[in-house]
Structure 1
């Protein structure tokens, strides 16, 4: 973190708007203009678009809304840590499960090694999105965690609705969609022993203001900025709403399991009543998607009738 102090200070200054000369920044932070230039290049490698005009200095290509740890902590009920530059918020919590309070949160501005389902890379440019993970100790054990990503998805969509972001849907088992484009992904990782409490780390990456030309993404995606079409939103307020919604829904899940979440999931199902295919290794099954059941399995209407499918190595794809 220490090696990023000057870069983060430069970003904070640039986020106030306008041009800032290399000389001005150098004097402010006690370094040379050449050092400022080097720091700017490092910031650009985080995915921040900064341009320079001779005689004027540096300016952000678009406004940057930084996260505020004090505001986040004051408006949530459990320990929260903002680590601007991190490898992975999930990995950070996984390495500390023995010392964390259940409900602890880690949020970042940038992930160097963000990951999604099956170890895929999660592209994580600085300040464009929301990268957060929550630790939860589930006393009922690992078997009781089945379907947890579905419950988290419901909580996130309902929290978005509460802050005026409408039309977001769920794709089984762990994605959020808007008009058939990916908005966010959920990754639940767990550890523990049979008969003991399960240590869960629930990670989420949500596209907020990601530049259209962000490299490394192969599937159609959207962002909160695109959904709102010019209406403003506050990254900090959105983060608070999501953290508090997760705390509430995980407490509910501990008490009731999947009961009553099925009826909350199915109306939000992006592929409900649509033709889909399930990919399971070499096997491919085509049918009409009919929502989920109380075990968290996806239901497909095939020639054999309604069939339930569940497991970690299944991918669902739209067919229409």
Structure 2
């Protein structure tokens, strides 16, 4: 059953202007991008099911009916496209803090957009942008948040890497989770320029001060010395040279 839009809005920060809830659509991100010019900042689209849920790099995000939390938020800040990294991190912290506060579980963020528990993926963040005609300024961001809430059978090979909140938590409440995530995000987004997301992000990060494998061409091993306030990784390679990498260039895998 879809989340009650009116009830949700009544429990949210005043930043959120419009809440629309759907039983089944292709993708909350895609629909919100289509109508972004006609809706104000703070608009939320939610779906009980997505037929074409989206992940990073063109991957699908399994979005079965009554099993997860699938929602997108419209932002219209005066930022450049580089800020999408910090918005992704801000949304990830909002999810991790919500689960920690509600259910006392130590969630981790696998750089930069995966929400994990015990090295299994619970969900992720997908931030997409629309550029103005001159391509120099972002017209809007759509922040997609997908969480596997209730138990479900994942097809191969997802069953090896994915899990759900209900597999680890009794009496998980999808509505309460949505409220907590969205209100956390409103607070962090309001102070984005002050980087209030930054210290919590380092605390939740599974790769900060960790050894990783960078899946570049060719791949290489490295140590994450720092994650900067733009969400970029500062790594030291085995030959002791340093490099700054961002999510648009590579993927990473814990060793």
TM-score calculated relative to the size of structure 1: 0.72
Once residues 105 and 80 of structure 2 are traced to their aligned partners in structure 1, the CA distance between those partners, rounded to angstroms, is 35
1:23-52 deviation digits (Å, cap 9, x = unpaired): xxxxxxxxxxxxxxxxxxxxxxxxxxxxxx
Structure 2: 5+ residue runs without aligned partners? none
Q: Which residue of 1 aligns with 2:64?
A: 125
Structure-to-structure mapping, 1:205-220, within 5 angstroms: 205-211=146-152, 213-215=153-155, 217-218=157-158, 219-220=160-161
**Corresponding position: 1:304 with 2:247:** no
Query: For the Cα contact (< 8 Å) 1:71–1:236, is it kept in 2?
Result: no
1:46-96 deviation digits (Å, cap 9, x = unpaired): xxxxxxxxxxxxxxxxxxxx5222321221232111011000000010001
Structure-2 change in CA distance of 1:125 and 1:217 (3 Å): farther
**Corresponding position: 1:174 with 2:113:** yes
Once residues 81 and 216 of structure 1 are traced to their aligned partners in structure 2, the CA distance between those partners, rounded to angstroms, is 33
After TM superposition, give the deviation of residue 237 of structure 1 in Å. Answer: 1.2
Structure 1: 5+ residue runs without aligned partners? 1-11, 13-65
Query: For the Cα contact (< 8 Å) 2:84–2:127, is it kept in 1?
Result: no
Query: For the Cα contact (< 8 Å) 1:86–1:112, is it kept in 2?
Result: yes
Q: Which residue of 1 aligns with 2:175?
A: 236
Q: Which residue of 2 aligns with 1:247?
A: 186
After TM superposition, give the deviation of residue 195 of structure 1 in Å. Answer: 4.7
Structure-2 change in CA distance of 1:198 and 1:216 (3 Å): farther
Highest Rg: 1 or 2? 1
After TM superposition, give the deviation of residue 197 of structure 1 in Å. Answer: 4.5
Please give the secondary structure, in 1, of the residue aligned with 2:103. Answer: coil
Q: After superposing the two structures, state which structure 1 stretch, 188-197 or 94-103, moved more.
A: 188-197
**Corresponding position: 1:270 with 2:197:** no
After TM superposition, give the deviation of residue 305 of structure 1 in Å. Answer: 4.5
Q: Which residue of 2 aligns with 1:45?
A: none
Structure-2 change in CA distance of 1:291 and 1:165 (3 Å): farther
**Corresponding position: 1:261 with 2:181:** no
**Corresponding position: 1:200 with 2:141:** yes
Once residues 199 and 191 of structure 2 are traced to their aligned partners in structure 1, the CA distance between those partners, rounded to angstroms, is 14
Query: For the Cα contact (< 8 Å) 1:123–1:216, is it kept in 2?
Result: no
Once residues 96 and 69 of structure 1 are traced to their aligned partners in structure 2, the CA distance between those partners, rounded to angstroms, is 18
Structure-2 change in CA distance of 1:318 and 1:224 (3 Å): same
**Corresponding position: 1:74 with 2:20:** no
Once residues 187 and 232 of structure 1 are traced to their aligned partners in structure 2, the CA distance between those partners, rounded to angstroms, is 27
Once residues 226 and 120 of structure 2 are traced to their aligned partners in structure 1, the CA distance between those partners, rounded to angstroms, is 19
Once residues 5 and 196 of structure 2 are traced to their aligned partners in structure 1, the CA distance between those partners, rounded to angstroms, is 34
Q: Which residue of 1 aligns with 2:99?
A: 160
Q: Which residue of 2 aligns with 1:24?
A: none
Query: For the Cα contact (< 8 Å) 2:114–2:121, is it kept in 1?
Result: yes
After TM superposition, give the deviation of residue 142 of structure 1 in Å. Answer: 2.5
**Corresponding position: 1:150 with 2:89:** yes
Q: After superposing the two structures, state which structure 1 stretch, 123-132 or 149-158, moved more.
A: 149-158
**Corresponding position: 1:191 with 2:130:** yes
Q: After superposing the two structures, state which structure 1 stretch, 237-246 or 111-120, moved more.
A: 237-246
Please give the secondary structure, in 2, of the residue aligned with 1:142. Answer: coil
TM-score calculated relative to the size of structure 2: 0.90
Give the one of 290, 294, 306 matched to 2:225. Answer: 290
Structure-2 change in CA distance of 1:145 and 1:115 (3 Å): closer
